[in-house]
């Protein structure tokens, strides 16, 4: 059996998430649940060029930047940033 994946918000990402409109929050949560249940969320992510082990998930015009952390039984995908695609890549 493969590894299980779990998303976890960093403090900064949690604040960014709470600042989003409720409809966008719902879309993001629904998509994160879908990714977790897929068995291999990173297959839906784009590896960020020039940045070690950072990936981007696309939810409409929004991007979720994560870094995977292996924790023996499962892999935690730590959400570093959530934001509109125009702004999210500015300071990674």
Q: Mind listing the pLDDT tens digit for each residue in 6-15?
A: 999 999 999 9
C-alpha–C-alpha distance, residues 53 and 26, integer Å: 27
Model pLDDT, residue 80: 93
Model pLDDT, residue 26: 97
Residue stretches of the chain with pLDDT short of 70: 1-2, 51, 92
List of residues 6+ apart from 29 with CB closer than 8 A: none
Predicted structure pTM score: 0.89
First to last CA, the chain: 33
Model pLDDT, residue 30: 97
Q: Which CATH fold topology does 4-84 show?
A: YaeB-like fold (3.30.2310)
């Amino acid at each position: 059996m493969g590894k299980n994946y779990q998303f976890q918000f960093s403090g900064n990402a949690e604040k960014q998430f709470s600042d989003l409109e409720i409809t966008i929050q719902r879309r993001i949560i629904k998509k994160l649940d879908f990714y977790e249940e897929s068995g291999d969320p990173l297959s839906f992510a784009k590896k960020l060029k020039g940045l070690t082990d950072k990936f981007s998930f696309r939810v409409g015009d929004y991007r979720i930047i994560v870094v995977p952390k292996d924790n023996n039984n499962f892999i935690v995908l730590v959400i570093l940033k959530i934001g509109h695609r125009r702004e999210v890549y500015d300071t990674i």
